[in-house]
Structure 1
Amino acid sequence: MRSIWTGSIGFGLVNIPVKLYSATQESRLDLDMLDKKDHAHIRFKRVNEKTGKEVAWENIVKAYNYNDEYVVIDDEDFEDASPKKSKVIEISNFVDAAEIDDMYFETPYYVEPDKGGAKAYELLLRALEKTGKVGISLFVLRSAEHLSIVRPKDDYLVLHRLRFAEEIREPKDLSLPDDVKIAKKEMDMAIKLIEQFAEPFDISQYKDTYRDELLRIIKAKASGKRAKVRKMKVVTTPSSDLFDQLKASLGGNGKKRVS
């Protein structure tokens, strides 16, 4: 793995030199875009709108439109905006992990101690484990400020980027059911069904089967065939049939069924 950020984690007067590594990778198929007529590759060019000529990456700068005038911003400007946050993941306070709503969680990164930081890294890891706390911090990555938590996982630290509160939409515009009557026997049956299907969570049981099926279809088309696929129609359960459907579900073999 290649580190994407190098700096330090600071808590109190302690600074731990660290490196961040992306903890995720794409599982989607890498699809190219072609012209429908002759299957030629579609290319995207960075074009100067005045001259119509393509512009190389090294000649492209970032700018902000301020009062109808562009102000060019370079890497030094981004760092000058907050030199400390560009180099330090400063933990401002510690909170219980359970206090953070899952809605705020975004991207995870592995945290590795850099040269000379092993003991302080281990100290923070063990202290977080014993207290059940996570560290809240703000830091700059790729010219943007991010809210994050530093948390222990197994024998290493993970930094998890969080969304800011203003990035979460309010659910007030949802059309939700109002004053729906649920019969006791329906609720009891639903609870029994949930208990029947309850088991410890194991992420390894879940695979990206859509990707595999799509790849199977691609391979069949490459050999001049059409893969056999099962057509399905989504059927909703009418309110009047809820109890009967729940009862029938309980009558199964306890395995998850695919419609």
Structure 2
Amino acid sequence: MRSIWKGSLGFGLVSIPVKLYSAVQTSSLDLDMLDSRDHSRIRYQRVNEHTHKEVPYDKIVKGYKINDDYVIVEDQDFEDAAPEKSKVIEIESFVDIDDVTPMFYETSYYAEPETKNNKAYALLIQALKKSKKAGLARFVLRSTESLCIVHPVDNVLVVTRIRFGQQIRSTEDLKVADDVTVSKKELDMGLALINQYAEKFDVSKFKDEYTDELLKIIHAKAKGKRATVKKLTPKKTTGDDLYDQLMQSLSSKKGA
């Protein structure tokens, strides 16, 4: 793997030199955009809006528009805006990881220590596991400030970028009632259904089946055939009564 960031991870007066590596990879198919008339690839060009000529990549700069003119922003400007955050993931506090709502999560990176047998790195992992806490920090990656949580996965520290609070939209405009009455009998049945389906989280049981099926269709078309398509079988209920539907769900799970 190739590192995408190099700096240090700090908590208190302890500093751990680390490298970050992407912990995720895409499983979707790499599809090219084609001209339907001759199947030639469509390529996107960086074109000057005045000369209509392609601009070499090394001639492209970033600019911020003020009034009718642009101020060019250079790499050094990004670093000067927050020099410590460009080189350091500084843990500002420790929080219960369960308090971080999943809708805040973005993407994760493995943090590798510069030296294999780093005692401070091992200490932080063990302390986080023991306390069941995660570090909350900020750092700059690719010219953008990111909020993140630092948490252990097995014997590795993981830096997971999370969204800032202002990036989460309010629920005010959603038409969701807050005064719907649910009877105790219905609630008990719902809890029973949840308990019946409860199991230890094991992500290895789940695969990207859609991409696999799409790939089968593509390979079949390449051979001039049509792949067998699964038919959608709608689930049937015998009525609109919520309690009855819950009862049927429990029974069908037992039967399975």
- The TM-score, its normalising length taken from structure 1, stands at 0.90
Alignment of 1:15-54 (within 5 A): 15-54=15-54
Change (3 A) 1:254 1:145: same
Q: Per-residue deviation at 1:254?
A: 3.5
Q: Per-residue deviation at 1:122?
A: 1.4
Distance in 2 of aligned mates of 1:238 and 1:31 = 43
Gaps of 5+ in 2: none
Q: Per-residue deviation at 1:20?
A: 0.4
Gaps of 5+ in 1: none
> CA-atom RMSD, angstroms?
2.2
Kept after mapping to 1: 8 A contact 2:239/2:245? no
Distance in 2 of aligned mates of 1:183 and 1:119 = 55
Distance in 2 of aligned mates of 1:46 and 1:238 = 59
Kept after mapping to 2: 8 A contact 1:10/1:90? yes
Distance in 2 of aligned mates of 1:165 and 1:247 = 40
- 1:67 match: 67
Kept after mapping to 2: 8 A contact 1:197/1:255? no
Q: Per-residue deviation at 1:230?
A: 2.8
Change (3 A) 1:127 1:199: closer
Q: Per-residue deviation at 1:119?
A: 1.8
Q: Per-residue deviation at 1:211?
A: 0.6
Kept after mapping to 1: 8 A contact 2:190/2:246? yes
Distance in 1 of aligned mates of 2:51 and 2:131 = 61
Asked whether 1:110 is paired with 2:106, we answer no
SS in 2 for 1:221: helix
Deviation digits for residues 93-149 of structure 1 (CA, Å, limit 9, x no counterpart): 222222322221211110110148712211222222222222221111101111111
Paired letter, 1:74: E
Distance in 2 of aligned mates of 1:99 and 1:249 = 31
Deviates more, 1:236-245 or 1:14-23: 236-245
SS in 2 for 1:251: helix
Distance in 2 of aligned mates of 1:77 and 1:116 = 34
Task: Give the number of aligned pairs.
Answer: 256
SS in 1 for 2:36: coil
Kept after mapping to 2: 8 A contact 1:16/1:117? no
Q: Per-residue deviation at 1:172?
A: 1.2
Deviation digits for residues 43-71 of structure 1 (CA, Å, limit 9, x no counterpart): 11110011010111111111111222101
SS in 2 for 1:240: coil
Alignment of 1:20-169 (within 5 A): 20-115=20-115, 118-169=118-169
- 2:194 match: 194
Deviates more, 1:198-207 or 1:169-178: 169-178
